[in-house]
Structure 1
């Protein structure tokens, strides 16, 4: 996939800034732009580990969630892809839940939490909240990256 990027032109100090509506979408073709992130729904079932590796190959990670609005948007992408469950980037390690992209896990939206040590990988549910299961389950997934991460 080819990324389309526009060069910023030099602006003299006395010129006015570019209005917000004139900003360009720096996400690669096929990716959704949401907030400061680019998101990609991958319609191929994989284990949590393989899904994260697939995202890594595109300079991304499995998606993290920092607020209800983001979660709602990820649910929308999942429904649009014809799914009810997708992998998220949450995992359980050494007694706590973490995001694979190193974001802080301050917002939680558990629907039903299974034993964390036996089911250490997190998935999104389109109906309500997220859950956790074995990492070897095969689900579709959402990759997330910063458009300016290079």
Structure 2
């Protein structure tokens, strides 16, 4: 229930953010507002020259172009920061490494997010990467406590022998032994203290 509430708040904030940044175009502004000092007009013209209409930015890049609160080397997608670590290790070691960065192994909560993670993996020249999914007592979960509502299985093996999820860069995810060595993707919320 707590996760649903937090997710609802994040969605509301995400939808509200673009509306807050919209401004009236100079031609739509009342005439009394147009009587700005000459230096203000110059600044406004410079802003017009540099700004890019939101419609011309590809959908996947739009969140990055508006705000980027992620540390260097991290990529922003929706309200989270992601980092691909190009070092093969076990699932447990990957999670420990992510923890040392203030993060967890990434969860994929919807098809667009999974596609973004696949693109990150492909860009790094890899075919597989650990995600934060694991099976505990017959139930799939995300290590970052996101709800496991979206699934995208390419193949699923025995959960008792293969309890950890890895991403496939061209298809859905699969599960493997946690001791296998894969590269991995970390994820964190930039607003967590």
Q: Do both proteins adopt the same fold according to a TM-score greater than 0.5, normalized to the shorter chain?
A: yes
TM-score with structure 2 length normalisation? 0.67
> Hey, what does 1:126 align to over in structure 2?
169
Specify the SS of the correspondent of 1:91.
strand
Question: In 1, Cα distance between the equivalents of 2:66 and 2:111?
Answer: 25
> Hey, what does 1:35 align to over in structure 2?
78
Q: 114, 129, 133: which is aligned to 1:71?
A: 114
Question: In 2, Cα distance between the equivalents of 1:95 and 1:79?
Answer: 31
> Root-mean-square deviation (CA), in Å?
1.5
Specify the SS of the correspondent of 1:38.
strand
Q: 129, 134, 137: which is aligned to 2:180?
A: 137
Question: Which is bigger in relative contact order (C-alpha 8 A, separation at least 6)?
Answer: 1
State the shift of 1:18 in Å.
Answer: 5.7
**Structure 2 unmatched ranges of 5 or more:** 1-18, 23-53, 55-64
Moved over 4 A (4+): 20-23
Q: 36, 42, 60: which is aligned to 2:103?
A: 60
**Structure 1 unmatched ranges of 5 or more:** 1-16
Specify the SS of the correspondent of 2:154.
strand
TM-score with structure 1 length normalisation? 0.86
Specify the SS of the correspondent of 1:110.
coil
Specify the SS of the correspondent of 1:103.
coil
Give the structure with the larger helix fraction.
2
